[in-house]
């Protein structure tokens, strides 16, 4: 009589599980998302989670990295693909209005909102997200500096202030999206913000 073969543990799709982790962290934030929340949303047990991703901080780090390659990629892409910093920022702000209010996923930006008001135990998580946001500011500042050197902006333009101003607007748009602002409302904010740039007026699309 043939013996019954022991079934192998059900495997899971790592990419799909990571996507579900992104959604959980994005919706509820790092600290408020428990391991139980993660295993439930990812459809795996705690042992599988630890085996595949490590601890919660390691999973969050992987989620943030993947978010940067997918949902958050529009920020860097706008600067890289547009011919001037001003046009890059204009595209960035307009796309933020659409991305932060897109249906079917949490509003706002994971990198901006996931570690708000975190405790001391999550200080390294907070610091990592802060550095990522600061890297975005530096990238904008460098692009604005290049425009200024090329004569695209007036000599008295302040690249650091413009980059910081843009970051403030983007972070505010993220929070407003989480508070229920619509895409149209955030697009209006983007157009107003662009008028604060040297030269004023809407940037070309």
Residue-wise pLDDT for 81-122, tens only, equals 999 999 999 999 999 999 999 999 999 999 999 987 778 888
Tell me the DSSP string of 58-106. Answer: HHHHHHHHHHHHTTTTHHHHHHHHSSSHHHHHHHHHHHHHHHTT-TTS-
Tell how far CA 84 is from the center of its chain.
22
Are 67 and 22 in contact by the 8 Å Cβ rule? The answer is yes
Q: Which two tokens stand for residue 115?
A: 């570690």
Residue 117's SS3 state is: coil
What DSSP element (H or E) covers 149? helix 123-149
Instruction: Work out the pLDDT band at 5, boundaries 50, 70, 90.
Output: very low
Instruction: Report the predicted TM-score, pTM, of the whole model to 2 decimal places.
Output: 0.88
Amino acid 1: pLDDT: 46
pLDDT above 90 covers what percent of the chain?
Answer: 83
Amino acid 119: pLDDT: 80
pLDDT tens for 54-64 read: 999 999 999 99
- Smallest Cα–Cα separation from 148: which of 197, 76, 202? 197
Q: How many Å is the maximal CA-CA distance in the chain?
A: 89
Amino acid 117: pLDDT: 73
Residue 6's SS3 state is: coil
DSSP 120: G
Tell how far CA 89 is from the center of its chain.
16
| Residue 117 CB coordination number (10 Å) | 9
Instruction: Work out the pLDDT band at 201, boundaries 50, 70, 90.
Output: low
Amino acid 11: pLDDT: 58
Average pLDDT along the chain: 91
CA 168, 171, 174 angle in degrees (round to 5)?
A: 150
Asked if pLDDT for residue 199 goes beyond 80, the answer is no
Residue pointed to by tokens 């495997």: 11
Amino acid 86: pLDDT: 94
pLDDT, average across residues 2-24: 72
Q: The dihedral of CA 164, 170, 172, 174: what is its sign?
A: negative
């Amino acid at each position: 009589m043939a013996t019954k073969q022991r079934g192998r543990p059900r495997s899971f799709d790592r990419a799909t599980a990571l996507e579900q982790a992104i959604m959980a962290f994005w919706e509820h934030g790092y600290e408020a998302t428990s391991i139980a929340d993660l295993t439930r949303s990812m459809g795996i047990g705690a042992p599988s989670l630890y085996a595949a991703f490590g601890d919660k901080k390691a999973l969050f780090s992987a989620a943030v990295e993947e978010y940067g390659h997918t949902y958050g990629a529009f920020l860097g892409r706008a600067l890289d693909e547009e011919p001037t910093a001003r046009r890059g920022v204009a595209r960035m702000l307009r796309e933020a209005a659409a991305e932060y209010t897109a249906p079917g996923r949490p509003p706002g930006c994971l990198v901006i909102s996931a570690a708000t008001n975190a405790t001391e135990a999550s200080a390294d998580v907070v610091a990592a997200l802060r550095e990522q946001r600061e890297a975005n500011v530096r990238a904008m500042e460098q692009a604005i500096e290049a425009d200024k050197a090329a004569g695209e902006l007036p000599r008295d333009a302040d690249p650091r202030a413009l980059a910081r101003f843009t970051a403030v607007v983007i972070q505010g748009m993220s929070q407003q999206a989480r508070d229920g602002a619509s895409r149209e409302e955030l697009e209006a904010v983007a157009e107003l913000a662009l008028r604060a740039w040297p030269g004023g007026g809407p940037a070309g699309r």
